[in-house]
Structures are given as structure tokens and as C-alpha cells.
Chain A
Amino acid sequence: MSGAIQSLSRAAAILRLLAGGERRLGLSEVATGLGLAKGTAHGILRTLQQEGFVEQDPDSGKYQLGAELLRLGQSYLDVHELRARALVWADDLARAAGETVYLGVLHQRGVLVVHHVFRPDDSRQVLEVGSMQPLHATALGKVLLAYDPVARGELGDGPWEAFTPRTVTEPAALDAQCALVRERGWADAVEETWEGVASVAALIQDRRRNPVGAVCVSGPVETVCEGGAVRPSLVASVRTAARAISRDLGAHRF
């Protein structure tokens, strides 16, 4: 293996050793198991321990795999799992708000709609699950940009497409809005994607507080807004729903 860093290869070997068989090993067992000097093995184990990849049992002094590895393995949340967990809350939000509800996740520099609840008026509506929305011009997108560094990184430097005269197209203005989103805990987009449509969104997190998606209420400006701003009661409903979904994600294995 050309260019391999020896200490990383050894660290990987130690993790594999701890993952198999005994699962709890003392320092000398690790050292002899891999043919390393005790001092070398100890140095690597200590570094792994500092990173949370390895834990040491305080009584026996033996080493085992750490919780951080588990977190890395589970940080990926299946979007269908997200929908299944969010179903009840999203229904309730749409009923309470009297408007359309979307759940979105980051996907290929945009927002992928993973769940859509119809506006409860039985008018003809088409399911939009699987469609994409722009990151910079929607409330869902702005929440993801504000909390997920990956999303902001993927969006790049702009300027971005203007869908309406109100679309934010410059990085400085968008970053300022994202700072406000983080401060308030919610995002809005009033006529920034479509004329006449306003939306308000809040963040969904897993138990480790990773940003996994966003939930929003979307509807005509006339019903969503009041005096040019999103109605406070809608903001409260969206944030309550986002918290409830996050709680449901954290209560289980994620």
C-alpha cells in the first residue's frame, strides 16, 4: 500500500481487533495481537480514546469500541424512516394550519420533498413527493442552509437564479438571513419562489442534534402572512411540529 500512513493503518487494525471476537481487550492483548510494541499500541489507543472511537473500562482497564463509532454509523437517516416518523405530526400541522405541509431534506444542491400533506380543503392537489425545490429561495432550503454546513457548501458562491423579484440571489444577503434563522429558530420565504406563495419552516434534528431535514407550512400570502410578515401562530405551529418530529427521531434508535 503506497502512501499509507502507518499509524492510521495501525489504528484501523486496532479498531478491527476490538470489533471482533473478545470485544474487550487489555493493552498487552492488543499489542501482542497486532505485533506492536506496548508503547506504540498505548499511544494509538490513547488517541483513539480522545476521539471517542475507543473507551477504556475504568475497573478492568480494558479497551472497547466507543460511542462515537456508533454515531458515525447511524448519522445517516433514511428519508422513508423520516416520513414514517413524521406522518402523524405533519398531518396535525396541516390540519391546524389549514395549509400545505412539506418535509424536505438536502439532496444534490437542492431540497428534495420527501413528504407532502395536502391542504385540508379537498381541492384537487397533486402529490409532490420526489420533486426538488431550490435551496436559496424556499423556507425549507434556508433552514438547511442555516444549520447544515454541507448545504451551504454545496450551494457555492452565487449569484443564484431569481425566481421572483424577491428572491435572494447574493451570498452576503443570504448568509445574513441564515444568521437570523439560527437566531430565531425558523425561516420564512415570502414570494421568493413563486408569486403569491409564502412559507415558513423549522429544523428537524436527530438525537445527536444533526440537522436531518426541515418541515414547512406553505400557502397563499393572504392566509400565511399578516401585515407583510408570517403569522406568529403559524410559526409556533411549525416549530412545535418540528420539535415533535425531532423528539420522535431521538426517542428511538436515531
Chain B
Amino acid sequence: MTASYIAAIDQGTTSSRCILFGADGRIVAVEQQEHAQIFPQPGWVEHDAAEIWTRVQAVVRGALEKAGLTREDIRAVGITNQRETTVLWDRHTGEPVHHAIVWQDTRTEALCRELGRNVGQDRFRRETGLPLASYFAGPKIRWLLDNVEGLRERAEAGDILFGTMDTWVIWNLTGGVDGGRHVTDVTNASRTLLMNLHTLEWDERIAESIGVPMAVLPEIRSSAEVYGEAVGVLAGVPVAAALGDQQAALFGQTCFDVGEAKSTYGTGTFLLLNTGERIVNSYHGLLTTVGYRIGDRPPVYALEGSIAVTGSLVQWLRDQLGIISTAAEIETLAGTVEDNGGAYFVPAFSGLFAPYWRSDARGVITGLTRYVTKGHLARAVLEATAWQTREVVDAMQKDSGVTLTALKVDGGMTSNNLLMQNIADVLDVPVERPYVAETTALGAAYAAGLAVGFWDGLDTLRANWHRAAEWTPRMDDATREREHRNWLKAVERTMGWIEQDDEQPQL
């Protein structure tokens, strides 16, 4: 009997899921379990890594049961994960030495400023592609070593292992204390501030500057190769892929060519552009990251831009203003009017991000007249997501010289028809939504399937991608330019609201 399914483990920020895929990329079964969010103090967010491992095992078992399959039916398993979340554990007992510090956790902000020394937050950007910011794993490791009693000594003695969630899951999946593989993939390693993008190896000099002993670091491997064989529920199944969630979505959307981009619309939005074998330095506040690497083929790099407030702006309208009762109603409300009535909404709730990076900015609604209704505001809310997408795309084009020809979208907000049309209108390129909303898990499954020869190449995967909907630009140039100018004027009005950066409360 031949194994004809691929399993993907999606270890996310709020839940862990296991999704089983067939050869045509269709979902056979999904199982999901949430884990606890731990908030020890304002700005701190932790997960219990031991709980996460328990959940992961349970969802794998659950998915197999739902589909009526056994481990023998599974050809390979791939992992995708919340990025940057950091756990340290004892290699002899397998016990985490502290809760995992989650990517959103801001406790290392002061440390990052200190690490910038006289250079500032771009001190390691040339090597790592990243600014010194609290999201990334390296400073989180340092914080744990500084704050958990006796940990640094144990780490230097080689008793402690570090991992992002991919590493933690793979180590446990392949045996844990009994020979578990201590590995990570290039995409996850590219979010630590410790990996050199050019060599794809740990940068000893930076590790030393940040204060991370090399002994804790896993081996960096490609995103698609057999790391080892699973034990337990999936005993004998090759563990064959790992990709950070956004990179997995890029892969699942089959953005394999230079200039192909995907945008995932959720609470926030993450846009990744494939820049091929070129490492593109960003001068417009984007991140340079590894997109994926298949086995020993050359790595594929990407530019990443994130928008902090997109879906969460709709939630804000629902929960804080109460002018809609479900997120989907925003479209109904926006549909009551023809246009924005002259109103613009820039949701710079905690400052402006790419490409402006102004922490002194705060949100504005501007252009208000007596004429403006809540319908117009709903339009302005949707347009805000579209224009912010445009700004990230413009920055990407400037940095890379690559012209975007289409945008592939996924995520919950793709059910908003008006928003998708709006994005097509302001970008002036078609917006395409594929079948299978689960592009993240699909990406991990694709990588694992490639590694074991379940799929024979990228072209087969591309042939699996089908357009479920396409929105083509309908806005005329003059309108687009006028609206863009107005948007930029609105953005200008957000700046300088906070008078002294230092007076902001530090979380």
C-alpha cells in the first residue's frame, strides 16, 4: 500500500492545527486545538511550550482519526509555525526552562535599543536583513539567559537548547531526549537576528554581540529535506519540511517566480515578494528575509512588508464604536454609499509602519463634512487597507526594481468583495484568490511532499493552483491619482501628534 497523503502541522499563535492533504492539494481533514495565552504583565505574552507539544500530538491524532487514516497513509509531514516565538529547554529532560516568549512580546524593547549602541536599530541589518526590534528571537534568548537563574552557565555547558516553534516541534517529533533532531530551517533562522543571509549560517560575531552562546543554536537546514523520522503517532513518517508561517503562505500560493507576491489579510497583513536569488536591501523600511530553500538548491529570498492594522480596524469599528455587529457587515454598510464622501481614515494606532516608520504618528479620520455618514466611514476603513497595501507594494517596487503584475491574496478578509475590488483598483493590477484558504498549511505540505518526491516539482504544484476569484482594476487613472493624493495628505496629518517620542509609555 502506498502512502498517498501529506500532513501539515501548523503551530500558530493561538492554536495548533493538523491538516491532511491529498495529491491534488485538497484538504482531507483538519483538527485544531487552542492553547493558553499567558500575560504575566502588560506587553508580555508567553506560551507554555509543553502544552503546545501536547496539543500538536493531539491534533495529529485527531486529524488521522477524522480522515480514517493511519500513519502508514502519510508520506511525509511538514511544519509551519508562528515565527520568532522563542523557547529554551533542557536537552537531558526535554523540559522547557521558562515559558516561550511570543513574537508580540515587547519585553526586549529596551534591550534592543541598548544593543543598537551608537549605530541604532539597523546595526545588524546588512547581515540579517532585519532591524533590531523586539519581535525577533535573538534578543529574546538573551533575555531568558539573563533572567532565568543559572541558565547562562547551563547554556554555556551545552545543556540547553534554543528553538523557535519549528525546532521545538521537530525535536519532539523526532524523539526528544531520545535522539530528537535539533534543527531549524532557513526561513525561521532568518527571523532570529542571528543568521547571516548571505552564508545562511549563524553569524558568530552577532551572536556574541547579542550574548547568545553558539552551543544553544540548532543546525540550520533547508526548508524542504528530510530532517529525520517521526516517533509516536506518526512513527516512521519522514519529517520533511519547515517554514515560518508567512513564508509557507508564499510557498502555498506557489509564488515561485521573481516578482510574484502574496498578501495575507487577517488582523494585520503580511505581504511577501519573491526576489529570487537576490538579497534586496530595503531602504524603505521593509524586511529582507529568506522565502524558502528546497534541499541544496539556491535559496530564494523575499522582501516582507507588514501592515499592523487591517482586519483589526474592522474589529475596532465593531467592538469599540459598535456601528457594525459582525465584521462582514462592514461591506453592507460600505455598500450603502457610492464612495468615501471625502473621508479618509489612517489607522496609525501605534504609529506609522512601513514605509514611514514614524512612532510619533497617531490615527486620524480626516476630510469630514456634515455630509459624511457611517457608510462613508465604512468605505474609508476598507480603503485604508487598500492604500496601505499600495504603500507597501510601492516600497517593494522601489527597493527591488521589480514590477508587480498580480497580487495573490489569502486570509479571512478575502471574503470581503468590496475590499478586494478596492485593492485591485488602487494597485492597478489584478487581485487573485486561489482555492483552499489554508495556504499556510498547504505551503508546508508542498515543501514536505517535494522533499520526499510525492510531488515531482514546482510545476506540478503550480498546476494545483487554481484561481477561485479574480478582481480586475476598474478605477480610471485620474480618480486613482486624486484618491492617492488625498490619502497621502491624510497620512501627513497623522505625523507629529506625539510630541516627544520619549514620553510614550514603554510597554
Contacts and interface: CB of A to CB of B under 8 A. Distances in A.
Q: Are A and B a genuine interacting pair, yes or no?
A: yes
Interface stretch (A78-86, A163-171, A199-207): A78-86
A94 B436 CA distance: 11
B468 A91 contact: yes
Interface string B409-424: 0001011110000000
Interface in B428-451: 435-437
B265 to A, nearest CB: 13
Contacts of B329: 78, 80-81
B469 A84 contact: no
27 contacts: A78-B328, A78-B329, A80-B329, A80-B330, A80-B332, A80-B415, A80-B416, A83-B328, A84-B328, A87-B415, A91-B437, A95-B26, A95-B466, A117-B435, A117-B469, A118-B466, A118-B467, A118-B470, A120-B435, A122-B467, A125-B467, A125-B470, A126-B472, A127-B417, A127-B470, A127-B471, A129-B417
A180 interface: no
B331 interface: yes
Given A122-B467, A127-B469, A91 B417 contact: no
A117 B472 CA distance: 15
A116 B415 contact: no
A80 B468 CA distance: 17
Nearest to B416: A80
A80 B331 contact: yes
A88 interface: yes
A95 B471 CA distance: 20
Contact of A83 (B330, B417, B468, B470): B417
Interface footprint category on B: 20 to 34
Interface residues of A, number: 23
Contacts of B327: 84
Interface in A199-254: none
A121 B469 CA distance: 12
Contact of B415 (A84, A118, A125, A127): A84
A241 to B, nearest CB: 14
B436 A91 contact: yes
A127 B424 CA distance: 13
Interface of A: 78-81, 83-84, 87-88, 91-92, 94-95, 116-118, 120-122, 125-127, 129-130
A91 B26 CA distance: 10
Contacts of A79: 332
B326 interface: yes
Interface string B298-335: 00000000000000000000000000001111111000
A83 B331 CA distance: 11
Nearest to A119: B466
Contact of B468 (A78, A117, A126): A117
A127 B414 CA distance: 14
Contacts of B416: 80
Contact of A78 (B332, B436, B472): B332
Given A78-B328, A95-B435, 9 more contacts: A80-B331, A81-B328, A83-B328, A87-B437, A118-B467, A120-B435, A125-B467, A127-B471, A129-B417
A215 to B, nearest CB: 15
A92 B30 CA distance: 14
Contacts of B332: 78-80
A79 B416 CA distance: 11
A91 B467 contact: no
A162 B467 CA distance: 34
